[in-house]
Every structure is written in C-alpha cells, then in structure tokens.
Amino acid sequence: MTDHQWEMLQRTMKGEVVNPLPVGFIIDCPWLPNWYGINILDYFSNDELWLKANLKALQDFPDVMFLPGFWSEFGMCTEPSAFGARCVFPMNEFPHAHKIIQSVDDIDSLLQPNPRTDGLLPFVLNRLKLAQPKIEAAGHKIRFAVARGPLNIASYLMGSTEFLTTMMMQPEKAEALMKKITLYLKDWLQLQMETFPSIDGIFMLDDIIGFMGEEEFRAFGLPYFKELYDANVSVKFLHNDAPCKVSAPLLPEIGINLFNMGFDISLNELKHLTQNRVTLIGNIPPRDVLASGDAASVTETTVKLVNSLQDKSKVIFSCGGGMPPAVSSENIAAFIKAVRK
C-alpha cells in the first residue's frame, strides 16, 4: 500500500467518510496468478513473476487498496509446513497441506516450530526481502504481518472434524494444541515485524471461527486471538467468510478493528453486532456475482450494497471474502465505477 492509501485506511477506520468511497480487495493465489496469465506453481516458485503479478494489479487499479499487499505465501501450506505437514503443489490448482496429527496423543509430541528456519517460512520472508527495494521503488511499503489463524492451522494439522470433536470430547488436548500454535504464531508475526519496520498491521485469516458456538469460541478461540492481536500495531485485521454472527460481537473485545466477512450477513447487521467499533470490508457475493456475473450484474449488486447502508462510515467496499478465481478486470472496473458513482 502507498502512504496515501494507508492514510485513507486510517481515516476510514477512525470513522471519517472519505470521498470517493474506498474500495479494497484481499488478493492472493486463488486469483492473482491466472489473472496475470501464469499458473499457480509459477507464481509460487518464481519470485520475479510473483512480483510482476502484484505490480500489474497495482498498476491496473491504482485507486484500489489491495490487502495485505504483496502477500508472500504458499497458500494454505504456508503455516502448517513449519510443523512438518506434507505439502502438495499441483501445477495450477491450490496447494494442500496433509494432516500430521493422527491421534490426540500426537499433540504432546508435536515439536514447536522455529519460524526463522522451519518449513516454507524462510522462503516467504526472503522473497519479501529480495523484493523490498522494488516494492518501495513503486511507491509501496510492506504494511502487514500475515498468518493463518490458530483455529485454521489446527484444522489442517489435525483435520477439521477431528479438531472440533477433540474440543468437545478432550478439551485439554485441544487447549494444548492451541497453546502450541499460538506461541508459534506470536513468534512468526513478531519475526515479520522485526524484519520490516514499516509493518503497522496484523492480518489473520480463520474460517473455523464460523463453525463454533459462542461457548466453544470463548473457550478455544477468544483467549488465543486476544493474545495474538495484543500487539503494538494500528490495524488489526481479521478475515472470516464463514458464518460470523456468533463471533462478531466479540471482535472489539479481541482488539480487531478491521473485518472481512462473507456475504450471508448484511453490513448493517454487522455494524449493529460490533457496535460500529469495527471497520468492515465487504461484501457483494464473490463467486456468483464478482466472478460469474457480467459487468451489468456487478454494477447492479454494488449499487444496491452502497444504497443499503444506513451509515457509510467505517466501510471499505469489497466482496464478501477474498478475491475469488476468474474475476475479470472488466468486473473489477465495474465494481469500482459503481462505488464511485
């Protein structure tokens, strides 16, 4: 993000209605490689192509806040790889990390990762180091420390059903796993902040939140997210595009001040649930409208979203979730134009 975009983000989060209304999208490997015209494996394995793809998006849409900006990642394999998860990388499909916890007894013997040396994390960090001069020459800075959330990582290491079952049947084992992952994530986020002093935000992604009731989230989510977001940064950003009615009222308590949700809930309702203390980034349907619709349907849906808002403060207009595969430049342009009208 440029200094100007960062200033716009800060002003929006403070409650100022900026003109023109802000537009932002979360972009990463599901969208960026194929939009740029390369396959996903090339995007992961060639730092020059990774950088060019990111720069192309910024050049084509200079008024859009692309978050987190220059996301150095290997899909869902990034964080589980440090625990030793076997990672599969098809040529042009999303990578997958295989679970390594076959029984709850494996949790106690799970080694604590070192983010400086383990898994794919050194490659993530070094890619950014090598690209930093060109990123800054283009007028941008590395603004966010980024990680999948602790519940998300637990579900990859153990399996989603197995992890949720363990929470109910053997809560002490689930707590032990969450503590290990949280310590790992604190180290990983801190390492990113130490490496790049320009970082002033934390961005975590965790959809498993949406599969938990309030009691379970308070026990197995809330304390660990609070610990992770208890950092000296101005932007504390969470993505959860699974159901969020249970967790949304707790976002201010966690410390989250920027939230990207799904599209199964209105921004007006979320403003009510969060007491308008959290800036919202969303939320037209990403796949069925932004990707699969034509420019006319994108325009119509976007206009309805903007006009539906009783209060346009603390909103960055986007889709409900990250940018999905196959979104065309024409549809992005239609979205921007509809918001700016």
Instruction: Name the CATH topology of 3-281+303-340.
Output: TIM Barrel (3.20.20)
What are the residues facing 234 on neighbouring strands? Answer: none
Which region, left, alpha or beta, applies to residue 201 given φ > 0 means left and ψ of -120 to 50 means alpha?
A: beta
Residue 338 pLDDT level (bands cut at 50, 70, 90): very high
| Contacting residues for 255 by C-beta, under 8 A, at least 6 apart | 226, 229, 230, 236
pLDDT tens across 39-72, in order? 999 999 999 999 999 999 999 999 999 999 999 9
Give me the pLDDT at residue 26, please: 98
Amino acid at 272: H
Place of tokens 């320009």: 198
Residue 341 pLDDT level (bands cut at 50, 70, 90): confident
**Pair 186, 243: CB distance under 8 Å:** no
Q: How far separated are the first and last CA of the chain, in Å rounded? A: 24
Q: What is the largest CA-CA distance in the chain?
A: 58
Cα–Cα distance, 203 to 67 (Å, whole number):
9
Mean pLDDT of the chain: 97
110-138 b/e with 16+ CB inside 10 Å = b? beebebeebbbbebbbebbeebbeebeeb
Cα–Cα distance, 217 to 311 (Å, whole number):
29
pLDDT tens across 185-198, in order? 999 999 999 999 99
**Element holding 144 (H helix, E strand):** strand 144-148
Pairing of strands 144-148, 96-97: unpaired
Give me the pLDDT at residue 142, please: 98
Q: What is the value of pTM for the model shown?
A: 0.97
CB atoms within 10 A of CB 263: 20
pLDDT tens across 231-287, in order? 999 999 999 999 999 999 999 999 999 999 999 999 999 999 999 999 999 999 999
Q: What is the DSSP letter of 23?
A: B
**Element holding 178 (H helix, E strand):** helix 171-195
Enumerate the domain spans of the chain: 3-281+303-340
Cα–Cα distance, 326 to 341 (Å, whole number):
25
If you average pLDDT over residues 163-186, what whole number do you get? 97
CB atoms within 10 A of CB 46: 13
Q: How long, in residues, is the chain?
A: 341
Place of tokens 């509809």: 338
pLDDT tens across 111-155, in order? 999 999 999 999 999 999 999 999 999 999 999 999 999 999 999
